[in-house]
Amino acid sequence: MKKQWRKSVVSVLSILLIFTLIFAGCGSSATNEPTDEPSNTEGTATNDQPQEQPADEGTYLEQAYAGKFKGTKVSMFGPFADADEVKFNNSIKEFEEKTGIDIQYQGSKEFEATINIRVEGGNAPDIADFPQPGLLANFVKSGKVIDVSTFLDGSHLKSNYNQSWIDMATMEGKDGEIMAGIWNRSNVKSLVWYPKKQFEEAGYTVPQTWDELIALSEQIAADGDQAWAIGIESGAATGWAATDWIEDIMLRTTTPENYDKWVKGELSFTSDEVKNAAKKMTEIWFNDDYVYGGRKSIVTTSFGDAPKPMFDNPPKTWLHRQGNFITSFFPEGLEAGVDYDWFYLPSIDEQYGKPVLVAGDIYAMFNDRPEVRAVMEFFTTGESIKTWVQSGGVIAPMNDASLDWYASDMDRRMAELIQNASTIRFDGSDLMPGSVGAGTFWKGMTDYASGTVDLDEAMEEIEAGWNK
């Protein structure tokens, strides 16, 4: 009897011991975090060296070309893999050969989840590629990202980037605002794709205003087709394609200042501005004569499959609003500019000019070493993305990227569109915190499109994400 009692006491005690150990471990690591130095041991070891460099040796990039950092390695981590990875490696090949710096790129489809673990675990890459500035902002807030304005020449940046890009790279850090990274790639979202050859054969013309766009949809409907290919299904991310529509229409129906406020959460989703944008969208979305397969098919059609019926012969549907990346989903064997082309999603209210919705990749720096600085400086030049631009599918945000580089007329017109835009704004859902931008915004739009909730309920549902 006594023995048994003793046995169970031992077990209970040891289990308690383990749990206290575990919780103590978690607790201490949690409290340690803020005091942790921004990056890793390597970084701090060489930290002072850069500042001591005499200025007359030139910028880090010039030093790199002079062969000063030969044999060093710079690790890079980002979400693009597969074909994009091949294109990226091609675009840095020349730099690597000239400078002797080895840029080791790692691509992972689980970038968003992994980058957190790696930074917290002290294994941050030297440079990380963020397609979502909102995600980067979290790291900036905790002081883990290095301020690139400390070593990059401000006047060079100003002349090489549209002011909107620089503003978008400036984020709130632990001790005031810092320049959190540099923009290296961009893509344009305000595009409407159409099957060019058949479009012209059918006698349609590219609309210049929103009213003309609706008139074109009506004309196509009368001819017997449903004009718009819309699909927002995307697995766990279902609904993101709808957020782009709202953002694009927001820019066309209200001021850029209101858009910024909206993205920051200061302008509510339940406000008239946002509701008005949603209503404008439903002029097309909820009209069964305009949407291929009708409204009910919007939420069940995959965003990648949506444009495919445009390329049936004859086209089953004619218009598709999506960013320039969508061409990789088009059936093989189509020729850009001949079989398909794009036009700018027309303005709705003239007073807001020609706004363009963009997305892009910002490169942020986690470890401060001279060779990393050189690579970052390299990424601010158009040269760093030249071969990628030439192979198509990407737009360079830098001004020194020549328009001649673009492989097709189609890409060149996109670059011109960005350069001539009255306002450039980043994809809002990527800037909002994850609980909204990758949460209720997606879900609310999906519910609204499928008809399970009405406009007011949908907007309240989305707005609730800010309180999470």
Partner 1 sequence: MKKKEKKRSKWLVNTVLGIISIIWLIPTLGLFISSFRPATDILQTGWWTIFPHRAWETTVELELSKDVDLRQPIEIDGTSYTDEELRKGIKINDQRLIWENRRARIVNVQDKVWNMNTDFTLENYMSVLTGKEYSIMQPDGSVRVEKGSDLSQAFWNTVAVSIPGTIIPILIASFAAYAFAWMNFPGRRVMFVIIIALLVVPLQVALIPVLKDYTALGLNGSLLGIWLAHTAFGLPLITYFMYNYISQLPRDIFESAYIDGASNFSIFSRLVLPLSVPALASISIFQFLWVWNDYLVALVFIGSQPDVQVLSMKIADLVGSRGSDWHLLTSAAFISMLMPLTVFFLLQKYFVKGLLGGSIKG
**Distance between CA atoms of residues 142 and 36, nearest Å:** 10
> Are 88 and 395 a contacting pair, CB within 8 Å?
no
User: Of 108, 138, 270, 423, which lies in the binding site for partner 1, with binding defined by CB under 8 A?
Assistant: 108
Give residues 400-439 in contact with partner 1 (rule: CB under 8 A).
405, 407
Length of the chain: 468
Q: Taking the complex as a whole, how short is the minimal distance between the CB of residue 350 and partner 1, in angstroms? A: 33
Contact 461, 444 (CB under 8 A): yes
The distance of closest approach from Cβ of residue 109 to partner 1 in the complex, given in angstroms and rounded to an integer, is 5
Residue closer to partner 1 (CB basis): 138 or 391: 391
Choice between 58 and 107, CB closer to partner 1: 107
Strands (E), 45-169: 73-78, 102-107, 127-130
7 binds partner 1 (CB under 8 A): yes
8 binds partner 1 (CB under 8 A): no
**Binders of partner 1 among 62-81, rule CB under 8 A?**
79-81
Smallest distance from partner 1 to CB 220, Å = 9
Paired tokens of 305: 């499959």
CB 202 to partner 1: min, Å = 8
**Helices within 110-169 (DSSP H only):** 111-120, 133-141, 154-160, 163-169
Contacts of residue 110, defined as CB under 8 A and 6 or more positions apart, other chains included, come to none
Distance of closest approach, residue 96 Cβ to partner 1, in angstroms:
15
**Would you count residue 334 as binding partner 1 (CB under 8 A)?**
no
Among 50, 143, 304, 382, the residue binding partner 1 under the rule CB under 8 A is: 304
How many other CB atoms are found less than 10 A from the CB of residue 199? 21
Task: Please report whether residue 328 would count as binding partner 1 according to CB under 8 A.
Answer: yes
The pair of structure tokens assigned to 81 is: 């893999």
Which x/- pattern, by CB under 8 A, does the window 221-250 give for partner 1? -xxxx-------------------------
Task: Express the helix, strand and coil content of the chain in percent, nearest 5 each.
Answer: 55, 15, 30
> Which value, in Å, is the radius of gyration of the alpha carbons in the chain?
25
Pick 353 or 392: Cβ nearer partner 1 = 392
Write the binding mask 354 to 393 for partner 1: x where contact by CB under 8 A, - elsewhere: ---------------------------------x--xxx-
Determine the angle formed by the axes of helices 272-285 and 240-253, rounding to 10 degrees.
120
Is the preceding omega at residue 314 within 30 degrees of 0, hence cis?
Answer: yes
C-alpha to C-alpha distance for 240 and 358, rounded to whole angstroms = 14
Chain centre to alpha carbon of residue 320: 20
Q: From CA 338, how far away is CA 277, in angstroms rounded?
A: 33
For the bound state, the minimum distance from the C-beta of residue 107 to partner 1, rounded and expressed in Å, comes to: 6
* Site pattern 178..207 for partner 1 (x: CB under 8 A): ------------------------x-----
Name the residues that contact partner 1, by CB under 8 A.
7, 10-11, 13-15, 17-19, 22, 25-26, 29, 40-41, 79-84, 86-87, 90, 104, 106-110, 114, 117-118, 120-123, 202, 222-225, 304-305, 308, 314, 325, 328-329, 387, 390-392, 405, 407
